[in-house]
A and B are shown apart, each in its own frame.
Chain A
Amino acid sequence: MALLESKRAEPTVCHISAEPELIHVDCVSHIYPDGSLGIHNLCFKVQEKEIVAVCGGNGSGKSTLLEHLNGLLSPSDGCVSVFGKRLDAQTKKSLWKDVGIVFQRAEDQLFAPTVLDDVMFGPLNMGMNIEDAKQVAFESLKAVGAEELVNKMPNYLSGGQKRLVSMAGVLAMKPKIMALDEPTSDLDPNHAEIIEKIILELKNKYGISVVIATHDLDLAAQIADRICIVKSGSIIAEGTPAEIFYNSELLEEAGLKKPKIVQIYDEFCKSRGLERKNRPVTVVELAKCFTCE
């Protein structure tokens, strides 16, 4: 695990791996016009076909980081490279085609009179003709299981349906990377599970790399390949879910709570006086531990 110091005065160390990187955020800082600090000296990477969860409390800089990946925000300091190319005014213009972003408030993303129109918006901006855009929109809605909503008006959709449609709207552009801001916030457990499955499908079926910004560590534990813990605009730790979620001090420092699976396993070991040999983070792994121990 690469545990990084979060001290403001010292720049964080950028760990550049030999694996192909789709996005490389290199010591980026962002200061908002009102002077507040969004992110500070933050280094981050996204590799091919992986799910990275950026976890942190409210106001830690998760959403600011996500908006840098799509070129919506420009760094005040440092640089962002996508597919090996450093982002500048020219490369930023077409970035939206490769890096799709689903915002926290799905309602803000839906503005067209019908669901179909909204999902077609991205493909039409890409220069597709109407028939092709319609075809792609249908496919995307089907991929997220929302094909029955095609002619509905966004005003009358439930929160979960809005989230599915907003995901379809980004998926329709066939991006190589998808960034999802708090994908399960305000959703009931059923819809949260649907979103979870869709995110896994994005990676496994469509080969899309996914970045999720969340404070829902249960979601991150279930689906993420890699976890980055953000605090005060900097990544203070990075590693696999097992490495991160069994580090109580780290989670406490970041103002986060252990995922339920970890809590259950901890309690189980404590009550039985067992040593924590395994570090389960998913339901399946926990079930295996119970049968073994």
Chain B
Amino acid sequence: MFVLSLVVLLMWREPGHPLMSLWISGMNITLTDNGLLLVVRLLLKALISMTFSMFFLMTTRYAYLSTMIYRVFPSPIDQIFLMSYRFIFITLKMVNAMMRALKSRGGGLIKGMTRQSQMFAEVFALVFIRSYDRAERVNKAMEARGYSGKYIAATGIPRIGYVEYGFIMGILSIIAYQMLFHSLV
């Protein structure tokens, strides 16, 4: 959707055979065949990137991923990533607990629009305050073990096996073949 929102703006500027025209506030904008092709191409690229990213994330243990990020990304990006993962779980747990507590006393999300918005605001504010409080406590606990701003991710990552090497070589061969002989990319 994010890519689509950008492409929708770009597609009107592509030169080519016009398909349709629109008059908006005295301005004439034209959609061309190349514009439409650009939409399809960019959406497909985004889809492929997302699929590969999901495939990578869902088949890699987080501990390995965090070590890779620690090795590759500069500080503080790696530190933010390493810390945020656990906090996502903690925050979700906190929200769940709060929603359960709300429901246990007759609260819920079906009491009318005003009440619902108010409740969401209350939950959001509480989560923010409690997360801040918890972050303080976690920082204190980390300082007590010598933390001074640098967290080292030290999980050992297993070496790539022959099967994985074969898979990567196969994929690269297909890409090279497509690029050299079919120029589809």
Residues of A within 8 A of B (CB): 67, 70, 72, 96-97, 100-101, 103, 105, 107-114, 116-117, 120-122, 124-126, 130, 133-134, 153-155, 169-170, 173
Whether B154 contacts A133 by the Cβ 8 Å rule is yes
Taking A72-B144, A114-B63, A125-B147 as known contacts, 8 extra A-B pairs with beta carbons closer than 8 A to each other, sorted by chain A number, are A72-B143, A96-B145, A108-B134, A112-B151, A113-B63, A113-B86, A122-B145, A133-B154
The SS class assigned to the A binding surface is: helix
Q: Are B146 and A126 in contact (CB under 8 A)?
A: yes
**What separation, in Å, do the CA atoms of A121 and B143 have in the docked complex?**
11
Chain B residues near A155: list those with CB within 8 A: 86, 89
* B83 interface hit (Cβ, 8 Å): yes
The reply to whether A120 and B138 form a contact with Cβ atoms under 8 Å apart is no
Chain A: CB-nearest residue to B142: A111
Is B148 close to A, CB under 8 A? yes
Given contacts A125-B146, A130-B154, contact A103 B137 (CB under 8 A): yes
Hey, which chain B residues are within 8 Å of A170, CB to CB? Answer: 144-145
Can you list 8 residue pairs at the A/B interface with Cβ under 8 Å?
Answer: A96-B143, A111-B138, A113-B155, A122-B146, A125-B146, A134-B154, A173-B145, A173-B146
The answer to whether A97 touches B146, judged by C-beta atoms less than 8 angstroms apart, is yes
Which A-B residue pairs are the 6 nearest by beta carbons? Answer: A125-B146, A122-B145, A109-B141, A108-B137, A113-B63, A101-B144
How far apart are the CA atoms of A124 and B146 in the complex, in Å? 9
Contact A124 B152 (CB under 8 A): yes
A113 and B62 form a contact (CB under 8 A): yes
Cβ of B80 to closest chain A Cβ, rounded Å: 13
Given A72-B143, A111-B138, also A153-B62 (CB < 8 A): yes
Is the CB of B167 closer than 8 A to any CB of chain A?
no
Measured in the bound complex, the distance between the Cα atoms of B146 and A253 in whole Å is 38
Q: Determine if B100 is an interface residue (Cβ-Cβ < 8 Å).
A: no
Q: How far is the CA of A214 from the CA of B131 in the complex (A)?
A: 26
Chain B interface residue bracket vs A: 20 to 34
**For the complex, is B140 an interface residue (Cβ under 8 Å from A)?**
yes
B155 contacts A105, CB within 8 Å?
A: no
Query: Closest CB-CB distance, B119 to chain A, in whole Å?
Result: 26
Whether B32 is near chain A, meaning CB under 8 Å from some CB there, is: no
CA distance A103 to B138 in the complex (A): 10
Interface hits, B83-97 → A, CB 8 Å: 83, 85-86, 89-90
At the interface, yes or no: B36 with Cβ under 8 Å from chain A?
A: no
Chain B residues lying within 8 Å of A169, measured Cβ to Cβ, are 145
Binary interface profile of B, 138-179, with partner A (CB < 8 Å = 1, else 0)?
101111111110011111100000000000000000000000
B90 cross-chain contacts in A, Cβ below 8 A:
107
Which of B86, B148, B154 sits near A111, CB closer than 8 Å?
B86
Q: A111 vs B88: C-alpha distance in the bound complex, in angstroms?
A: 11
Contacts of A116 in B (CB 8 A): 155
B contact residues around A134 at 8 Å (CB): 154, 156
- Nearest chain B CB to A140 CB, angstrom units: 12
With A113-B86, A122-B146, A126-B146 as contacts: A103 and B141 at CB distance below 8 Å: yes
Distance of A122 Cα from B63 Cα, bound (Å) = 18
In the complex, which residue of chain A has the Cβ closest to the Cβ of B152?
Answer: A124
Q: List the A residue with the shortest CB-CB distance to B153.
A: A117
Bound complex: CA A130 to CA B153 (Å): 10
- Report yes or no: A117 in contact with B155, Cβ–Cβ below 8 A: yes
Which residues of the partner chain A approach B86 to less than 8 Å between Cβ atoms? 110-113, 154-155
**Are A105 and B146 also in contact (CB < 8 A) when A114-B63, A117-B153 are?**
no
Instruction: Looking at the assembled complex, report how far the CB atom of B77 sits from the nearest CB atom of chain A, in whole angstroms.
Output: 17
